[in-house]
Structure 1
Amino acid sequence: MTSPLRVVAVSGGMQRPSRATALAEHLLDLMAEQVPCERRLIELGQLAPQFVGAAWRSQLPEAVELELAAIERADVLVVATPVYRGSYTGLFKHFFDFIGQDALVDVPVLLAATGGSDRHALMIDHQLRPLFSFFQARTLPLGVYATDKDFVAYQLHAEDLLQRARLAVQRALPLLELTRQALPKVAGTTAAA
């Protein structure tokens, strides 16, 4: 039997509740419905006070180091960030600056963002995709962008958004299955002949 995928979601939301966090959690739920996985959510807004003043990874406290290590060990990443002035937040970028340059090679990444209007929708392709291309990660084919009007009380509400999220996960499934098949087998089981 194959080990479950380690799926780590990172929300760049600064507050709680957060639309970016709600979107990340929804995408995690959709993945968990399709493939066996161990889920972890990292909320940068809650973690920020522990890393904003650090210039080097060696300056980070253990709590932040544990979250970075979880990302570097992830089989799949889900990243969701609010759009701020046409890009991801500075805090989001600062956090990913601590990730090892080769730690995400070939890791599938589902990209998502939230913004005040549709005019920021291309941020996924023009900002997030190049960032994760630098890491040589495998950005998944469809990103998920949501505006404020797609939520009610910080819950996904708009049917178009819900369909887009489902489609993004469906389109990711072949790569997720390949990733899962490449994982080590769980001890005590044998492969079928």
Structure 2
Amino acid sequence: MSRKLVVGLSGNLTRPSKTKAFVSHIAGEVASRAGAALSVFDIEDLGPSFPLAKKLDDLDAAARAIVDQLLGANVLVVGSPTFKGSYTGLFKHFFDLLDPSSLRGKPVILAATGGGERHSLVVEHQSRPLFGFFEAQTLPTAIYASEKDFANGVLVSEAVQARARQAVAEACRVAGVPYSVVRAA
């Protein structure tokens, strides 16, 4: 990858955000392995024009610049906290503003966080269909982390870190960057 761009987007509104830290961790690994530039945003970064926007033209220049980076990215890492079994409403609102063909073929790593294991399939039952609509290339390994996987906002679960490494390896393969994951015996 010659100076490509990896963009992370978190659907969280609160700061500090475990979801943004999680997305940043994964996107940072992809960017580091690929020698790519990295940008990570959360919904809050879109600013005051975003919640009332009905189309991209309704966004102010700062929000539009974030959209343009996301659309120009070579790899996306998207994640949302889980609320009532799904991603956040503003996360969905963001994607509602995009043209249906704008993510066609774009490699996407899906991630989510939640309070417990009962939400672990949110990436498969909610996120994957959303990006399927856009004809994005969602990578096979999606990553979910619950409250118990973090300590003081830092991902500490070895199992979740292993899934993240697998997703990073998949993204690198799609991007043509050598990367292998050694599986524990």
Q: Deviations over 1:146-168 (max 9, x none)?
A: 00111111111111111111122
2:109 aligned counterpart, secondary structure: strand
Worse-superposed segment, 70-79 or 168-177: 168-177
Query: 1:69 — aligned with what?
Result: 68
Query: 2:173 — aligned with what?
Result: 174
2:13 aligned counterpart, secondary structure: coil
* Mapping for residues 1-193 of structure 1, pairs under 5 Å: 3-177=2-176
Q: Deviations over 1:83-106 (max 9, x none)?
A: 111001000000111122211111
Q: Which whole-Å CA distance do the structure 1 matches of 2:47 and 2:123 have between them? A: 22
2:105 aligned counterpart, secondary structure: coil
Q: Which whole-Å CA distance do the structure 2 matches of 1:79 and 1:59 have between them? A: 23
| Relative contact order higher in (CA < 8 Å, ≥ 6 apart) | 1
Contact 1:72-1:99 within 8 A present in 2 as well: no
Unaligned runs of 5+ in 2: 178-185
**TM-score for both structures, normalised by structure 1:** 0.87
Count of equivalent residues: 177
Q: Which amino acid counterpart does residue 61 of structure 2 have in structure 1? A: E
Query: 2:180 — aligned with what?
Result: none
Q: Which whole-Å CA distance do the structure 1 matches of 2:103 and 2:55 have between them? A: 19
Q: Which whole-Å CA distance do the structure 1 matches of 2:38 and 2:156 have between them? A: 23
1:65 aligned counterpart, secondary structure: helix
CA RMSD, Structure 1 to Structure 2 (Å): 1.4
Unaligned runs of 5+ in 1: 179-193
Q: Which whole-Å CA distance do the structure 2 matches of 1:96 and 1:110 have between them? A: 15
Deviation at 1:17, TM superposition (A): 0.7
Q: Deviations over 1:106-153 (max 9, x none)?
A: 100000000001111111011101111111100001001000111111
